[in-house]
Structure 1
Amino acid sequence: MIQSITDRSEHPFEWIDIVDPDQQELDELTRKYNLHSSSINDWLQVDHLPKYENVHNYIFIIFRLHADNVSDEADTVTELTDKVAIFMFDELVITLHKKEWLAPQHIKENQIKEHTCENTHQLVNEIIKSCIATYEAPSSKLTSDIEFYEENMFLKNRKPSLLKGLYYLRRQVEVTRRVLMLSHDIVDKIDSSELSNTYTRDTRDLYVKLHNIYDTLFENMNQLVMIYFSISSQRTNDIVRVLTVFSVFFMPLTFIVGIYGMNFEHMPELKWRLGYPGVMILMGAITVGIYIWFKRRGWL
């Protein structure tokens, strides 16, 4: 679907927004605006990462915004983000995207009508800023998810599903952080020394803020995974410690039982009247002795 967001009759530039174009629309677009085939091929790659490129008489940008609906087990670039392609001419901007996107109408109502966009560079700056802003809400959700896992790891019983959830959470943070890192060149070109102004610096500030947030989330996730394995190791050690204590108590008793279970013919203790109670008292004394020894060493 092709729609004209602005035209030259009311504004100093034209903005054409295209949603999920078919091959015929792409061919017509390529011929009409003399777009390079490499740009179209980059657009057709569903997992293409962010890029900024000068192509003939226009600038080609691919930016990835965070997807609206992300499942708990999403862990790839295509599952976590949506792609927007931007063709910036001197007096024309073309945006391509697969899914519905509310940013064009929002920018038209809040920036273009208020005349804060006077040329295509300022318009593209607003588009990039709106794309970067899509990472704010997911960062808050990831922060609350990390807090949830911390609470379950330290205050509640560890469940087998906890490690699976930690894996997907770490992947989401890692992939989103990598996409933001690869977007640095785009923000840098938009806010270059020759073109820098208040609006482009706002875009850079938002980018730096979110980049730092996702860096912190990534560090927290790495620490959380390490803590998970440390707690698992500690609990395993506690179980082994309990089993070791039980084995120490039963080892001498098993030794005594083994001796008197050999059934040799000449074993005088077998015919003693007090042989059985004597052995039971001996075994009880050994158990009490081991208990007292453990207590004094602080092992119980």
Structure 2
Amino acid sequence: MGIVAFLFRENGLERNFQWQGRLPDLTEHELLWLDVQDEDHVALNALITALPVGDRGRSALRQEEPGLRHWGDHVRVRVDAPVPVPDGKFQVVPVQILAARNLVVTFHDAPAPFLEELVERLHEDSKMGELDSAAFLAVMLNFHLESFYALLSPLEDAIDELDDRVLRHLDRDDLRRLVGLRQRVSDVRRLLGSHRLVYAGLASPDFTVFQGDQPELLLTRLFKQYEHAYDAIAHTRDMILGSFDLYMTSTGQRTNEIMRVLTLATLVLGMLAVVTGVFGTNFENVHIFKSGDAGFRDMLLASGVLALGTVGLARWRRWL
């Protein structure tokens, strides 16, 4: 899709700015954000030659895992953006971020939702030109952390729905659903955990984005926001464990109800067995005892029907 350029001036966003293949002369209160989305890396290769970051900075744009690299005049951050998919899970889109004085460059192969949300916010906020690249990087990464909360919201809704279902009508598939929800939460926690060194490095008291920059207060707050997001994931995991306890309690209650029914049935059949055992059933002049092979066959059929009926009743009552 090429390069989309956003030029922020002190008085707001320049909406008609077009990228011409070279960096413009930027003043102190101007900020240029170049967003590159290109699956074939054609646009990136055309851009990196114009970046004032040297060969090391250009090679850093191809970092293979989340991380943070810092040079005196610029910083490179690689994060993984979660993208929700219809089946309730998510895909990962790598996003490379390079920040230098008055310049921020992002590169990704596919759409990144947190960048799209940032673009929407930019059109509403006319004061972004007052931020330098360090503060803008902090704002961008804050949107990245917020994208994890977007993953947790449908998970929590699914947990609440499952709890309601368990309380109303226990189903044998509920345990499978619990396992699936726990796996999804584990995937989110694992993805966020892979960024710990990134946000810890940004929160370092002596960290600066470009040469001569003062440590940004917004960057130091990012690690606390990261920990809050991680705590939110842990809370969602605790909700699943609570749902499992509720499931086990409901299963125990259902088992008690089944055992109560079976105990009553055993008591009734036991009393009948005592009576028939005392008196016997081979009474004289009862034709059923003189039916020969046909009677034996009917007895086997009746026994089979009784057994199948018992199993069918148990499945209908969800005892099995």
Aligned-partner SS, 1:40? coil
- For residues 69-117 of structure 1, the C-alpha deviation after alignment (integer angstroms, 9 at most, x for no partner) is 433442xxxx254332213345643211211542453465567844442
Q: 1:190 aligns with which of 192, 195, 202?
A: 202
CA distance in 1, matches of 2:246, 2:77: 40
- Where 1:136 maps in the other structure, the secondary structure is helix
- SS in structure 1 opposite 2:186? helix
- Structure 2 residue aligned with 1:122: 135
Aligned equivalents of 1:179, 1:11: Cα separation in 2: 38
* 1:15 equivalenced with 2:33 (yes/no): yes
Check whether the contact 1:65–1:132 (CA below 8 A) recurs between aligned residues: no
Q: CA shift at 1:192, angstroms?
A: 1.5
**Pair 55,215 (structure 1): closer, same or farther in 2 beyond 3 Å:** same
Mapping of residues 187-226 of structure 1, within 5 Å: 187-195=199-207, 196-226=215-245
**Is 2:177 aligned against 1:165?**
yes
Alignment of 1:93-132 (within 5 A): 93-97=104-108, 98-99=110-111, 101-103=115-117, 105-106=119-120, 108-109=122-123, 113-118=127-132, 120-132=133-145
Letter in 2 for 1:84: V
Instruction: Give the corresponding residue for 1:45.
Output: none
| 1:86 paired residue number | 97
Root mean square deviation of aligned Cα: 3.3
- Residue 79 of structure 2, aligned match among 49, 58, 63: 63
Shift in Å, 1:243? 0.9
What secondary structure is seen at the aligned counterpart in 2 of 1:22? coil
Gap change, CA 1:192 and 1:112, over 3 Å in 2: farther
Change (3 A) 1:18 1:183: same
Q: Residue 62 of structure 2 aligns to a residue in which SS?
A: helix
| Structure-2 change in CA distance of 1:30 and 1:183 (3 Å) | same
Could you say which structure has the higher helix fraction?
A: 1
Separation (CA, whole Å) in 2 of partners of 1:225 and 1:53:
42
Kindly provide the CA deviation profile for residues 199-229 of structure 1, in whole angstroms up to 9, marking residues without a partner as x.
Answer: 2244344333322222111111122123213
1:10-49 CA-to-partner distances (Å, cap 9, x unmatched) read: 455543211133144454456665356575261xxxxx5x
Distance 1:115 1:56 in 2: 23
Distance in 1 of aligned mates of 2:24 and 2:129: 14
Q: Which amino acid aligns with 1:126?
A: V
TM value normalised by structure 1: 0.68
SS of corresponding position for 2:131: coil
Aligned residues: 252
1:5 is the counterpart of 2:6: yes
Q: What's the counterpart of residue 238 of structure 1?
A: 257
Letter in 1 for 2:135: Q
Q: 1:72 to 1:234 in 2, by over 3 A?
A: farther
User: CA contact under 8 A between 1:18 and 1:96: conserved in structure 2?
Assistant: yes
* Structure 1 counterpart of 2:245, one-letter code: M
> Which residue is equivalent to 1:181?
193
Q: Is the 8 Å Cα contact of residues 96 and 106 (structure 2) preserved in structure 1?
A: yes
Give 1:261 deviation, angstroms: 4.7
Q: Secondary structure at the match of 1:172?
A: helix
Q: Gaps (5+ residues) in structure 1? A: 43-47, 264-269, 272-300
Q: How many Å separate the matches in 2 of 1:15 and 1:3?
A: 8
Give 2:146's aligned residue: 133
Seen in structure 2, the aligned counterparts of structure 1 residues 126 and 107 have a Cα distance that, compared at 3 Å, is farther
Structure 2: distance between partners of 1:112 and 1:61: 26
TM-score under structure 2 length normalisation: 0.65
